[in-house]
Structure 1
Amino acid sequence: MRILITGGAGFVGSSLAIALKQNYPSYEIFCLDNLKRKGSELNVARLGKQGITFIHGDIRSKEDFDALPNVDSVIEASAEPSVLAGLNGSPDYLINTNLFGTVNCLNYAVKCKANFIFLSTSRIYPIKTIETLDFVESETRFELTNNQKVKGVSSRGIAEDFPLDSARSLYGTTKLASELIIQEYNEFYNLKTVINRCGVLTGPWQMGKVDQGVMVLWIAKHFFEQQLAYIGYGGTGKQTRDILHVADLYRLIDWQLHNIDKVNGEILNAGGGVEVSVSLQELTKICQKITGKTIPINTVAENRPADIRLYITDNSKVTALTGWKPEIGVEQIVEEIHAWLAENREALEPILK
């Protein structure tokens, strides 16, 4: 099999590429990336060591696709991933990358007659609707109840039939627009596609920032003994998310690559679910335990733009279709990221400190 991974030097793209090459040494894997995100340059050497071909290019440029070889499958993992992107300035890069870039990827896949696996986001679900959901406040977190007035949500989390009629951030909108276009290509160009709406992804080699990659950010701030803040919702740190280790995501993508006919045309939520979820307050305690360090954490009561109180993925559909479910728990995720920080401190300190 020959596979192109866009965003291939990013956290998710490089992680998928390396795992695929290790499990299928005979596969030819090409990684396309513009290296815009700080830290992605570190992954180029990692890809090369595995025998993966790195191509410096940009999905916004049609010409960059002309030089690419034909492949059997495309994994579209490129994105401007910040939920705050475009809110405080021009949205041009966001829209050109996350929407028009996806169209270029689709046209390339049609030319190659390649299968198309798209990494979307849970952020396609509208903010205001999520914020009106019924919840309870426990000692350390917010939790969804079964007493909901909208469909597609329960104590298990948010499902694929959750209502989509409201604003969701420019980032979420570009990904949802891409989903709609992918469905058209599936129907009218006979392109085999599957869309994965991923929750919070994390793991070693993620260059965490406050607006994207909060798990690594939280652990790194403890590791380097800097300060953090609980921002919004009263400043208690009870905001809750499910998290998914990139190795668990890999298992799903691996299955889809080799069973595309069984999920062709599907839209699937993929996250940690209730079982692999954590609040900021709970995450702080785990970080203290694993790093052995306690750092100052400020409190800011006011909410940030585009933030949500809690998000949990309901994986019922993807599990029923594929048998997949997450296996790596929160403590193991923190342990792995902490070990990665310790092992690569010199290279990571200028990026994450």
Structure 2
Amino acid sequence: MRILITGGAGFIGSNLTEHLVSLTEVEKVRVLDNLSTGSLKNLEALVKNSKFEFIEGDIRNYDTCLKACTGMDLVSHQAALGSVPRSINEPLTTNEVNITGTLNIFTAAKEIKIKRVVYAASSSTYGDHPGLPKVEDNIGKPLSPYAVTKYVNELYARVYADVYGMELIGLRYFNVFGPRQNPQGPYAAVIPLFIKAVLNNEPPVINGDGEHSRDFTFVGNAVDANVRALTVVNPEAVNQVYNIAFGERTTLNEVFESIKGVAGSDLAPLYGPERKGDVKHSLADISKAKNLLGYQPSTSVKEGLKTAFEWYREQHHFSYS
């Protein structure tokens, strides 16, 4: 297999790239990334690997997407501009990257006759639908520009499958966390921010009362789901979207307490206002991914938090003083 990974220098993409390069049945892994939110540091262990190739380029450029797809069998489309708050502040850029960029990749894959595209979808697509757990066919109205873009990706995938006979699989990630998730910047995710705060012995700010809950998902589980989606042979499993999560709900307060427990810290958090566009609770029904992809998350939230904390402690991405 020769696989293109867009956004392969990012958090999920680099974890996936590293895993795919290690597989004997994979002949080549090509990464396309513009390094706007990803980093070459995430790929430094692979630079000398003969299976690995890196192209610095932007999915908003169609010719770049065509070049990146050429000679590939499969595409894993991870590149996106994440973060609900960023999309509220930067709706035009979010649209360009997440919708135009994705359409470029889908179209390039069509032209090159790529066998299958697996793309990163999002739990934000559920919007204001009140039901828990979240089931793939029941979605509400999007609550942010980011959520709109990720839903549009799914609509395009459905149309491209029907009109052009393509194979596309969407993975709706639920709050993925783990090594290489960037703790820096105004749009950093909550778990790396909590870990950074504990390492620096500074109380973190929790938006709201801390009782917001999420189906936090360790990145290794997301990597496994991607591999299964890229390789599944059951025709019923193709041209579907899947919840990719652990299948349990954890509050922000519980996450912080777990991190404190690993670190042996007695920090108390500060509580601030709720964020615009946030949903109060999120929990995935993962039975569809289990049944059709054979997905079985193997790392729990507590195990994942311990692994993540130990990784960040060994890094020097930020000052601990």
Report the alpha carbon displacement of residue 50 of structure 1 after superposing the two structures with TM.
4.1
* Counterpart for residue 121 of structure 1: 122
The partner residue of 1:208 within 183, 195, 198 is 183
* Counterpart for residue 40 of structure 1: 39
Aligned residue type for 2:106: L
How many correspondences in the alignment?
A: 316
5 Å matches for 1:1-353?
Answer: 1-24=1-24, 26-37=26-37, 40-51=39-50, 52-68=52-68, 69-88=70-89, 90-114=90-114, 115-127=116-128, 129-130=129-130, 153-154=131-132, 157-164=133-140, 166-208=141-183, 211-232=187-208, 235=209, 237-260=210-233, 261-274=235-248, 277-300=249-272, 302-344=273-315, 346=316, 348-349=317-318
Report the alpha carbon displacement of residue 49 of structure 1 after superposing the two structures with TM.
4.3
- Tell me, which stretches of 5 or more residues in structure 2 are unaligned? none
- Alpha carbons 2:7, 2:77 under 8 Å: kept: yes
Q: Distance in 1 between matches of 2:48 and 2:254?
A: 37
Report the alpha carbon displacement of residue 319 of structure 1 after superposing the two structures with TM.
1.2
Aligned residue type for 2:281: L
Report the alpha carbon displacement of residue 122 of structure 1 after superposing the two structures with TM.
0.2
Deviations 1:226-283 (A, max 9, x none): 2212222xx2x11111111111112222122221534111111111112xx3211111
Q: Distance in 2 between matches of 1:28 and 1:197?
A: 26
Per the normalisation by structure 2, the TM-score is 0.92
% same residue = 27
Aligned residue type for 1:320: N
Q: Distance in 2 between matches of 1:25 and 1:339?
A: 31
Q: Distance in 2 between matches of 1:175 and 1:185?
A: 15
- Alpha carbons 1:241, 1:312 under 8 Å: kept: yes
User: Mean Cα displacement is larger for which, 9-18 or 66-75?
Assistant: 66-75
Q: Distance in 2 between matches of 1:335 and 1:272?
A: 16
Report the alpha carbon displacement of residue 294 of structure 1 after superposing the two structures with TM.
2.5
User: Mean Cα displacement is larger for which, 73-82 or 238-247?
Assistant: 238-247
| SS of corresponding position for 2:72 | coil
Aligned residue type for 1:290: V
Deviations 1:28-63 (A, max 9, x none): 0000001001x6231242331444211100000112
| SS of corresponding position for 1:111 | helix
Q: Distance in 2 between matches of 1:87 and 1:213?
A: 16
Q: Distance in 2 between matches of 1:200 and 1:281?
A: 15
| SS of corresponding position for 2:216 | strand
Q: Distance in 2 between matches of 1:297 and 1:216?
A: 14
User: What RMSD in Å do the two structures reach over aligned CA positions?
Assistant: 1.9
Aligned CA distance change for structure 1 residues 213 and 303 (closer, same or farther; 3 Å): closer
Q: Distance in 2 between matches of 1:333 and 1:174?
A: 29
Per the normalisation by structure 1, the TM-score is 0.84
Q: Distance in 1 between matches of 2:240 and 2:3?
A: 20
Aligned residue type for 1:126: G
Q: Distance in 1 between matches of 2:276 and 2:169?
A: 31
Aligned CA distance change for structure 1 residues 304 and 47 (closer, same or farther; 3 Å): same
Q: Distance in 1 between matches of 2:8 and 2:139?
A: 32
